[in-house]
Structure 1
Amino acid sequence: MVTPKKSPKVTKAATKTDAQTDVPEVAETPRDSFLSKSIGVLLILANVAVRVYCGLYMIISDCDETYNYWEPLNRIARGFGKQTWEYSPAYAIRSYAYLIPYYLITNPLRDFDLLTGETLLPSAMFYYIRVVGLAGFTAYAEIKLYWAVRRNFSNYTANWFLLFSTFAPGMAHASVALLPLSWAMTWITLGTALAIEVLGDVNDLSVVGPSIKAISCFLTAGLFGWPFALAIGIPFGLFTLRARYQTPPLTRIVFAGWAIFPAMVIFLICVDSYFYSRDALFVPFNIVLYNVFSGEGEGPEIFGVEPFLYYLLNLALNFNVVLVLGYLGAVVIPYTSSKVEHYRSAFGASVPILVWSFIFFRQPHKEERFLYPIYTLICLSAAIFTARVWKFLRESVFLRMVSRVLVLLSVALYITLSGSRILSLVYNYSAPLTTAAVFLEIENENATTGIQNVCIGREWYHFPTSFFLPDNYRLRFVKSGFDGLLPGDFEENVSIKQAASIYPAGINAKNIFSEDKVVPFDTCDFYIDNSSPVPAGEPDVFGNAAWKAIACEKIADPSSTEFNLKRILHIPTILDKYIPGSNEQMDYCVFQRVNGV
């Protein structure tokens, strides 16, 4: 069990103010208090268990995660990997400062190799980063916010928050994604946990420490993650300026902020200028330029645009009923709360959610991951709103009895729906992860010395990461129906600094196909494909005597676009016959060339 850090000054001051100006959301008897605390312990254990499960089994849902983050990280750790145009020094819109921490946390694995003489599989590094660096850090942040909500709202609200956050399907994949937006989400969660400690009437020096830490978290989310995430910290910054105006705390907070912000900027400039060999390179500035001020035929819109409903449908899949509760809470709760609770709910969750939604719902190019930074805030807003509703229901004896039944039914339904969605993602889309393990098995059984080419065509966007490839295996692309720009390769046998500073050929920011990113099919030793009909001009290895399948798993057939409950949710076999429709699947296979054929 994780215990909160003691902060006597802040907690005492906040408690005193709450006693004078606010009342608990739900008045708890000693029995209720014991029960809610016990439930809290179970939820913390469940949170850790779910995060570990997701770290081990959750899919990689975005090819951007593979090629823009796992592949460069593999180059840093193992000396080879794919390189996207974003990592060309000509554009430099990806920061090495984001990747370095994940490389550093794998030091225990390298120490294990040195101390024991045993060599761990490279996939162990992948899962270690996922479980410890991604899922573990997210769980830590969620639990920190849980304790903050418990201190500043109620046990009841805190339990609802951790329930919603733990089992939300969106959190299941956001918590283990190696993406700057997931980094931003986690640091925003920590920042919010610190911010709600001081979102109130207290205006003495006890608020300085938590305020500075909260601001530092929001800055870390934006500068080291995604610069637009800084917008989520603005409401807290404005509250601090207004509530602490002309007071000693504000002076200290401002001075600290003006020290921390330049320090972070200078650190980022030093790291990326070193790797890219460019003077005074500030990658967050390049990211803003690309996303906001790109020229004709460039910018995020060239990768597709989506209608307004795209985000609503994604949020519905990722949060089900919590989506409705979260946005209702964001709009309603700040205007129906007492003063202190108004500050905490409005500046802690409501305003950041509405600001972020206003910005990104209006953008033509939409990606599911763009909403990651507000995922935990949606859960927090939903928890505050839900606690308020149950408080109303508990005001009469009859409704109190009904509410207990409703709570149990609601919790059971939410966990069932959310768990079913998480399992659906794992069962329907995890074939690329599970089949990739075969490369290390093959090499362990029959070691090779020369370079082995693992080729992929139309399934290029499903490849998980080169962490599943032995040291002498390389991912290659062959021609397929995809006519956009594919990643190239980082230069090998040179330092990472030299590799990062080379201007690669055939790179452009307009997603224009480059011939030098593909290889002839006859150079392939392995080939990854699915069993759907093969378009003309692409390799067909199913039933080809020159190739043998060495690993196959089922994966959802993307050609089936009609609404299908069996794909949205994981339906147990015993219930399958009662649910209409069928979950169309295909084989996702790894083939090996047969020698002598």
Structure 2
Amino acid sequence: MSLSTRLRRPQQSDDPSSSSSPPPSSFYSKVDKQGSLSNYWEPLHFLLYKSGFQTWEYSSQFALRSYLYILFHELVGRPASWLFAEEKLRVFYAVRIFLALLSVITDTVLHKRVGLSSLAFLELIIPRMSVDDIIFQVSCQAHSLSRRFKQAFLAGAAISVALLVSSVLVDHYYYSGWTSSLLNLLIYNVAGGGESHLYGTEGPLYYLRNGFNNSNFCFVLALLFLAMVPIARKKYAPNLLIVVSPVYIWLAFMSLQPHKEERFLYPIYPLICVAASAVIESFPDVFRFDYDSQGNSPTVMTAKILRPVVLSLILCASHARTFSVINGYSAPIEVYKLLEDHDDVGTGSILCVGNEWHRFPSSFFVPDYVGEVRWIDDGFRGLLPFPFNSTLGGTAAAPPYLNSKNKASDLQYLRDLDQCTFLVELQLSRPFPSRGSDLSTWEVIGALPYLDRELSPAKYRSFFIPYLWQHKNIFGMYKLHRRVPK
């Protein structure tokens, strides 16, 4: 993979996260990748605090993102900003907890409607959903999925139309013009109106690898659902096939697109759990024959025992994945928190970030005494996010330096590095120099280990294996530097 691609987008197969995790993960898991960060958390920060980074997708010239999605976050973010005043980190976590609670509620509704005993367990341990998936679940679970599909379809269609109309109205307010972000997005990614293939391109097996990394054996079982349908004798099987069919349609459609990101699988995460739980529930039906109506044969009893065994295997794999992600990749979110302890430098200081721009955890982690966050040139030649420009119109602006071709702007880098007060760097075992190694200029005020995915074997870095995870993987140091006073 080229350097530009690596810097443009971290590898989600090894470095995933979710913006709406269960409560513990809401505190300890890393923040999502820069694409999602700048497209969601940064606009939210701008709405709340009048500062934040803007990507070209939020330029009114392109309008690929809807502010309706941001308003769902602002429902909690706005009151939290009043309650916690300048403590922006608390606002950030309040929003994440809010998303987690919504996820729990919709998981419960899904479990009750479908009626699969193992579903609640899988929903608890498999990666969570974001707001768009919650809306999807609410519409799909408006009526019983096993019997009233016509009503469920009509309810889902009505909610979809209502959301589409709401999106257009909300975006008219923020973009100061009539536009449809959904239509713009389809034109860009599907109809050839954009250049999505310029970065983040992956092979056809990308989503299969990511599906196993993030949902492990649950993902494998979900793919086996089609094979189980003719075998299973559960009354829900034919109808449930209609429900989980988007898993296969979505995987096939997204795999055909050159630009791939792990977060594109979020809409089918709940259905992956549904399909997997249906397969687990159907284990005894594979071995039940017509003459064994009671299902008391040794093979059927063995199949029943197999269900908790498989669930335990999924649980262990999920915890191993969670441990690897949190302990291997959480350094950025922890290092940026250290800025809170260095306000003695005075207001107006500048935080500089080089090739670690894509792991910047959001402006919520930047204290008010820091006047600017600036990117510095470390060789990346793609377009980087710019601060929202209130002079040009804020959310309604169409800045000339933003483009849909991923072409770097001459204005995106800070050229005078002497202005930097703080510096964030990831030091790896590579044959290129580190700015922070100049001890006459920089002092280290925070350093945490960060898993080096390029030098660590995939089978050891992806899942935690006791002893081997620590000794087989290679770690760099994620560092926060402060300029030495002269």
For residue 376 of structure 1, what is the aligned residue in structure 2?
270
Q: Which residue is equivalent to 2:133?
A: 185
Listed one character per residue, the Cα deviations across residues 418-451 of structure 1 (whole Å, up to 9, x for unaligned) are: 10101100000001111111112222xx3723x2
Q: CA deviation at 1:91?
A: 1.0
Instruction: Give 1:128-143 correspondences, 5 Å limit.
Output: 128-132=94-98, 134-143=99-108
Alignment of 1:509 onto 2:404: yes
Question: Residue 293 of structure 1: CA displacement?
Answer: 2.6
Counterpart in the other structure of 2:485: 595
Q: Which amino acid in 1 is paired with 2:172? A: S
Query: Residue 444 of structure 2 corresponds to which residue in structure 1?
Result: 549
What's the counterpart of residue 87 of structure 1? 58
Distance in 2 between residues matched to 1:332 and 1:404, nearest whole Å: 19
* Counterpart residue identity of residue 140, structure 1: I
Kept after mapping to 2: 8 A contact 1:564/1:582: no
- Percent identity between the aligned chains? 27
For the Cα contact (< 8 Å) 2:81–2:88, is it kept in 1? no
Q: Is the 8 A contact 1:334 1:345 kept in 2?
A: no
Q: CA deviation at 1:275?
A: 1.3
Match of 2:180 in 1: 282
Q: 2:454 aligned to 559, 579, 582, which one?
A: 559
CA contact 1:421–1:569 (8 Å) conserved in 2: yes
**Partners of 1:267 and 1:324 in 2: CA distance:** 37
Query: TM-score if structure 1 supplies the norm length?
Result: 0.72
Q: Structure 1 residue 526 and structure 2 residue 426: aligned? A: no
- 69, 92, 112: which one aligns with 1:147: 112
Could you say what secondary structure the match of 1:541 adopts? Answer: helix
- In structure 2, do the counterparts of structure 1 residues 417 and 513 end up closer, same or farther at CA, with 3 Å as the change threshold? same
Q: Distance in 1 between matches of 2:92 and 2:369?
A: 18
- 1:67 corresponds, among 38, 43, 46, to 38
Q: Tell me which amino acid in the other structure corresponds to 1:361.
A: S
Counting matched residue pairs gives: 459
Cα deviation, 1:320-352, whole Å, max 9, x if unaligned, reads 2212211111x1344446695244312211x22
TM-aligned CA distance change 1:413 to 1:185, over 3 Å: same
Distance 1:564 1:323, change over 3 A: same
Quote how far apart the aligned CAs of 1:382 are: 1.1
Q: 1:407 to 1:441 in 2, by over 3 A?
A: same
Deviation per CA, 1:168-195, whole angstroms, max 9, x where unpaired?
A: 2xx1xx43xxxxxx33322223333335
Give the one of 116, 119, 122 matched to 1:164: 122
Q: Which residue of structure 2 lines up, in the alignment, with residue 268 of structure 1? A: 167
SS of 2:318's equivalent in the other structure is helix
The answer to whether the Cα contact below 8 Å between 2:423 and 2:482 also exists between their aligned partners in 1 is yes
Is 1:51–2:51 an aligned residue pair? no
Aligned match of 1:486? 384
Larger Rg: 1
Structure 1 pair 403/589, CA: closer, same or farther in 2 (3 Å)? same
- Which residue does 1:109 correspond to in 2? 80
Q: CA deviation at 1:564?
A: 3.7
The answer to whether the 8 Å contact 1:106/1:125 transfers is yes
| 1:137 counterpart SS class | helix
Q: What residue ranges of structure 1 are gaps of 5+ in the alignment?
A: 1-48, 114-118, 151-157, 176-181, 220-260
Out of 358, 371, 390, the residue aligned to residue 461 of structure 1 is 358
Q: What residue number does 2:257 align with?
A: 363
Q: String of CA shifts for 1:380-421, please: whole Å, max 9, x gaps.
A: 011111111134457234235534543343232221111010
Q: Is the 8 A contact 1:189 1:377 kept in 2?
A: no
Query: What is residue 317 of structure 1 aligned with on the other side?
Result: 213
* 2:9 aligned residue: none
- Structure 1 SS opposite 2:411: helix
CA deviation string 1:343-365 (max 9, x = no partner): 4312211x222221221122222
How far residue 471 of structure 1 moved from its aligned partner, in angstroms, is 2.0
CA drift at 1:148: 0.8
CA deviation map 1:77-118 (0-9, x unaligned): 1111111111111111111111012112134424535xxxxx
Q: Is the 8 A contact 2:219 2:272 kept in 1?
A: yes
The answer for the alignment partner of 2:13 in structure 1 is none
Point out the structure with the larger helix share: 1
Q: Matches of 2:73 and 2:158 in 1, distance apart?
A: 20
Contact 1:146 1:161 in 2 (8 A): yes
Structure 1 window deviating more from structure 2 (332-341 vs 520-529): it is 332-341
Give the conservation status (yes or no) of the 8 Å contact 2:382–2:406: yes
Shift of 1:142: 1.0
Aligned residue type for 1:99: I
